[in-house]
Amino acid sequence: MKTYKIACIPGDGIGKEVVPAGQEVLEALAASGAGFRFEFTSFGWGGDWYRAHGKMMPDDGLEALRDQDAILFGSAGDPHIPDHVTLWGLRLKICQGFDQYANVRPTRILPGIDAPLKRCTPKDLDWVIVRENSEGEYAGVGGRAHQGHPIEVATDVSMMTRAGVERIMRFAFKLAQSRPRKQLTVVTKSNAQRHAMVMWDEIALAVSKEFPDVKWDKELVDACTARMVNRPASLDTLVATNLHADILSDLAAALAGSLGIAPTGNIDPERRYPSMFEPIHGSAFDIMGKGLANPVGTFWSCVMLLEHLGEKEAAARLMQAIEEVTADPKLHTGDLGGKAKTADVTAAVVSRLKNR
Ligand code: ATP
Ligand code: MG
């Protein structure tokens, strides 16, 4: 029987609760006659590791992950460690080390979820945001000089390369082409950022010629936020830079009802390295250790993981089980206005997988 090696990195805060829940659900799926099995390896990297070793993960950590089929990640963030240290020391180290340049973020209003836009039905909001995940505003290029002095300067250079933009644009057009509406919105800010974003627009136009069956348009990122609220049904697949897509996808998650539901995949489309799947929420220390975290974002990330492994049927079965559970308000966690606990939601998904 096919065995998939999955690395689990719970990280910090509620990551330590939702990743084991995700593992439980994947185990249940495999045990219910899916035709494959999983071999999980857990890595205790994150804030605790930092306190013991002075870094978020070991220097040779990427080597330990390299032969895995996929990575299930929780979150990196600790109130006692600066955010840029936790982010760059773990999550971004993996994303960049494994050139996971496409960050895919589906958003839908799942059954039973009370989403904030009252005029918007589930069929009006079905998006996938593709985030450039390797360069742009988060390239890590920049520096500080004359620290503490009145003439101090600090820069974060947004760096885009032709090769980097071409590959994410091609990925986004291909993804749009695979969806029923075959529609892509290229998000830009080329009115104000007149170098890199103009190149972004030029490359979008050039790549669009390879995909004559995809309808596409351009939208400025500021106007795009208004359009997401006012005309959600006019959008389907979106592609945006690292920073812009980061912001747009939090808005998307909120419009779909909760940050706790939203999944994401950090993908290496060329499959040279393992790809990494995670809920988009952070460590949420305010609710950690109480069993209150909504595990649905992690479960949906497991669906993306299965799709990436080519296990489409198992992915669809898990998604159906998730949707049956969200449809029942008794199984909603606090972020959705309910009283259910992480363990209740997990057990409900597991039992639906078993009874099939
Ligand atoms: P980080 O600094 O790691 O990003 P954070 O404290 O900013 O973490 P987020 O996870 O980004 O927290 O989420 C913001 C708030 O949304 C949390 O404080 C929490 O109350 C709520 N929240 C996030 N994820 C979940 C979840 N899975 N279940 C329930 N509530 C959640
Ligand atoms: Mg946060």
Q: What is the full DSSP assignment across 226-244? A: HHHHH-GGG-SEEEE-HHH
Residue 103: closest CA among 316, 325, 264, 270: 264
Ligand 1 within 6 A of 341 CB? Answer: no
The pLDDT value given to residue 121: 85
- Which residue owns the Cα nearest ligand 1 atom 9? 282
Q: Give the ipTM of the model, two decimals please.
A: 0.94
Residue having the nearest C-alpha atom to atom 5 of ligand 1: 284
Phi, psi at residue 268, to the nearest 5°?
Answer: -100, 95
Q: Is the CB of 82 inside a 6 Å radius of any atom of ligand 1?
A: no
Cβ of 259 below 6 Å from ligand 1: yes
Protein residue whose Cα sits closest to atom 30 of ligand 1:
335
Which helix (H) or strand (E) is 127 found in, with range? strand 126-132
What Å distances lie between residue 82 and 77, 79, 176, 326, CA to CA?
Answer: 8, 7, 37, 35
Instruction: For the chain, 356 residues long, give each residue's pLDDT as a single digit of tens.
Output: 999 999 999 999 999 999 999 999 999 999 999 999 999 999 999 999 999 999 999 999 999 999 999 999 999 999 999 999 999 999 999 999 999 999 999 999 999 999 998 888 888 999 999 999 999 999 889 999 999 999 999 999 999 999 999 999 999 999 999 999 999 999 999 999 999 999 999 999 999 999 999 999 999 999 999 999 999 999 999 999 999 999 999 999 999 999 999 999 999 999 999 999 999 999 999 999 999 999 999 999 999 999 999 999 999 999 999 999 999 999 999 999 999 999 999 999 999 999 76
What would the two tokens of residue 307 be? 């799709």
Residue 346 confidence (pLDDT): 98
- Give the pLDDT confidence score for residue 31 in this predicted structure: 95
State in Å: Cα 225 to ligand 2 middle. Answer: 19
As a whole number of angstroms, the distance between CA 303 and CA 269 comes to 17
Which bound ligand lies closest to the C-alpha atom of 259? 1
Element (H, E) at 185: strand 183-188
Give 281 Cα–ligand 1 centroid separation in angstroms.
Answer: 5
Give the nearest ligand 1 atom to 293 CA.
Answer: 28
Q: What is the pLDDT of residue 111?
A: 94
Q: Which residues contact 309 (CB under 8 A, 6 or more apart)?
A: 4, 69, 70
**Residue 119 phi, psi (nearest 5):** -85, -5
Q: Which of 281, 283, 287, 333 to mutate to test the pocket of ligand 1 (most atoms within 8 A of CB)?
A: 281
Angle at 79 between CA 75 and CA 85, to 5 degrees: 65
Largest CA distance in the chain: 67
Stretch (H or E) spanning 304: helix 296-308
Ligand found nearest the CA of 283: 1
Q: Is any atom of ligand 1 closer than 6 Å to the C-beta of 284?
A: yes
Atom of ligand 1 minimally distant from the CA of 86:
3
Q: What would the DSSP string read from start to end of 258-295?
A: -GGG-EEEEE-TT-SS-EEEEESS---TTTTTTT----
Supply the pTM of this predicted model: 0.95
Tell me the best of 56, 85, 113, 259 to mutate to test the pocket of ligand 1, counting ligand atoms within 8 Å of each CB and taking the most: 259
Number of Cβ atoms within 10 Å of the Cβ of 88: 16
pLDDT confidence of residue 45: 97
Report every protein residue that has its C-beta within 5 angstroms of ion ligand 2.
282
- Give me the pLDDT at residue 119, please: 84
Q: Is the CB of 96 under 6 A from ligand 1?
A: no
**What confidence score (pLDDT) does residue 191 get?**
93
3-state secondary structure (DSSP) of residue 113: coil
Residues near 63 by beta carbon (within 8 Å), at least 6 away in sequence = none
